[in-house]
Amino acid sequence: MLTALEVFTTVVVGVMVGVEFSVAFVMNRIFNALPEDSGQLGRAHGGRMLGAVMPFWYIGSLVLSAVWAVAGWHHDGAGLVVTAAGLLIVSVIMSILLLVPINNRGKTWTPENRPDDWKEQLNRWDRYHYVRVAVIIAAFALLAAALT
């Protein structure tokens, strides 16, 4: 049963990493290259869609990692899992304090109501997101290493 938990947790975190990596390095670059207001509208829609799912995914990943850490406490790799869970805590705190406030504003913007500094706010979100992606990649790598 522990092996199933380990694999399931690693897959859930790995897919989350893939989505967030894609947002950072693929989707936002596509949106930024679109003409006129299309990119901003695309990011607003993405913020609404992913903003509804990601809280459950981040918290779920953290809970799964914590359960794995407790269930596998006396197994090899427990320290890696605890460290990964700590990094996932950092990613949740970053999300709540830094990224979600900007996302909550941005997902309501239209070309008619967006603030004058909307590009600066999106650039700030991108910078925070790059750091968060690095954090969750590190967590994923530690979980993958704990499997061996």
pLDDT tens per residue, range 74-90 = 999 999 999 999 999 99
The model carries a pTM of 0.94
**Which residues, including other chains, have CB under 8 Å from residue 67's CB and lie 6 or more apart?**
5, 9
Confidence (pLDDT) at 139: 98
92 and 58 Cβ atoms separated by less than 8 Å? yes
Structure tokens that stand for 146 in this block: 């704990």
pLDDT tens per residue, range 131-146 = 999 999 999 999 999 9
Question: Mean pLDDT over residues 25-32, rounded?
Answer: 95
Residue 148 has pLDDT above 80, yes or no: no
Structure tokens that stand for 119 in this block: 């590009």
**Average pLDDT, whole number, for the chain?**
96
